[in-house]
Amino acid sequence: MPESVEQKIQTVFAEQSRRVLATLIRLLGDFDLAEDALQEAFIAALKQWPQEGIPEQPRAWLVSAGRFKAIDQLRRRARYHEILQQQADVLAAQAVVNMEEENAGIADDRLRLIFTCCHPSLAPEAQVALTLREVCGLTTEEIASAFLQKTPTVAQRIVRAKGKIRDAGIPYEVPEGDALLERLQSVLQVIYLVFNEGYLSSSADETVRHDLGDEAIRLAELLNQLLPEPQPEAMGLWALMLLHHARRHTRLDAEGELVLLDEQDRSQWDRDDIARADALVRHSLSSQRFGAYTLQAAIAGVHAQSPSAEQTDWTEIVGLYDLLQQHMPTPVVALNRAVAIAMRDGPEAGLEALHPLMEDKALRQYHLAHAARADMHRRLGKLSEARHDYEQAMRLTEQPAEQRFLRRRIAELAK
């Protein structure tokens, strides 16, 4: 059955709405006005396109319609606010610019929007909420559900972020030179925060949120496509998420319980994602300008390329962790290195590497540090110590699936 005009309009909305919004924000200089204009433009399309046909350039039509709808809205409100009349007059004057000239900036509008939503003057949680709302198009309710927060709280967070962008005069632009590299870190961090919530959800109902993982990967791909020149760490983050995403169907069993990496069915891993990630990692490493995301992707790549858990090259992984510590000298990296040493040289060597790290207060409050030590004690047959560490790990995590996994580990010690 041929696709109806209404279906085609819905397809245009799904594919183009975020692009149209990004351009309207640039033209109108106001998030809320642009969102209203976007909705009115699509309402107009639903009325006009079935009679007039879908235009050759639907995005340009929607941008133009949205801008004029915004001008009309400002003029309706202008009887109460003189400044709105002035704003409407300015926008109307700009509307006579040749459409080809106007369209020249459209290609970069989504990139501008990403950098604006991830501006470092905004709080991290506001950056995440605003990016998911404006760049990805998630509803406020969907964002609140994903992060186990109340919808009014997320709505207020988004409103305040928009207000700060407006009041502080945060420029709607892509930074250049050193400023681009500095700001890029904020963008990558936001994307990774979104992915991590999808990778192991805070929700008691959903251990894995594939939708958030998909959105984060889509954002990373979009970022890499739009950046004015290739950036190794942007490629590294994209690769890292692809490698984790490649295992998405094997991380839970049929009952929805967590399955550890060495017990996963590797034949079910997505080899296309792994191949794409491998090419990105190689490209990033060859630049000699790589950082922590690329090195984490390289470590994940060693696991992904290993035919089995027993054939994992732990010597290479320890070496990569040595490099990662130079770029990111954090307690968690040191912990992961100790775990890799335990796999390469045995649990006693792992405990020796882990012992001084547990002096760090942050690691003592980190459930995975206790779980790692428990596993080393278990492998050595020190079951009492292992049970104590597993119980401590269970007290420190609030993630339901992790708690269930740790209970199973404790029960196995009694067998």
pLDDT tens across the length of the chain (415 residues): 346 778 888 888 888 888 899 998 988 888 998 899 999 999 999 999 998 888 988 988 999 888 888 877 777 765 555 554 555 444 455 554 444 445 544 556 888 898 999 998 999 899 989 998 998 888 898 888 777 689 999 999 999 999 999 899 888 888 888 888 888 988 998 898 888 877 765 544 544 566 778 888 988 998 999 898 899 999 999 999 999 999 989 998 888 888 999 999 999 999 999 999 999 999 999 999 999 999 999 999 999 999 999 999 999 999 999 999 999 999 999 999 999 999 999 999 999 999 999 999 989 999 999 999 999 999 999 999 999 999 999 999 988 889 999 999 999 998 7
106-129 b/e (C-beta count within 10 Å ≥ 16 → b): bebbbbbbbbbbbbeebeebbbbb
In sequence order, what are the residues at sequence separation of 6 or more whose Cβ sits closer than 8 angstroms to the Cβ of residue 159? none
| Cα 36 versus chain centre, distance | 26
pLDDT for position 13: 86
- Among all chains, which residue has been given the structure tokens 């991380």? 251
Q: What's the confidence (pLDDT) of residue 252? A: 87
Distance CA 29, CA 91 (A): 10
Which tokens hold the place of 182? 């500095």
Euclidean distance between CA atoms 42 and 139, whole angstroms: 17
Angle at 236 between CA 282 and CA 277, to 5 degrees: 60
Find the farthest-apart pair of alpha carbons in the chain and give their distance in angstroms, rounded: 80
Report pLDDT for 77: 64
Domain boundaries, the chain: 5-104, 230-312
pLDDT at 346: 97
What pLDDT, on a 0 to 100 scale, did the predictor assign at position 85? 52
**Residue 189: which residues within 8 A CB-CB, separation 6 or more?**
118, 124
How many other CB atoms sit within 10 Å of the CB of residue 353? 20
Q: What is the pLDDT of residue 203?
A: 47
Element (H, E) at 303: helix 292-305
The answer to whether 19 and 109 are in contact (CB under 8 A) is yes
Predicted confidence at residue 210, as pLDDT, reads: 61
Q: Residues 129, 157: contact at Cβ < 8 Å?
A: yes
Give the per-residue pLDDT at 106: 52
User: In the structure encoding, which two tokens stand for residue 253, read together?
Assistant: 């069993």
Question: Which pLDDT does position 349 carry in this prediction?
Answer: 98
Give the DSSP letter of residue 328.
Answer: -
C-alpha 411/C-alpha 313 separation (Å) is: 31
* 179 Cβ contact list (under 8 Å, min separation 6): none
Question: How far apart, in whole angstroms, are the C-alpha atoms of residue 140 and residue 152?
Answer: 9
Tell me, what's the pLDDT at 86?
53
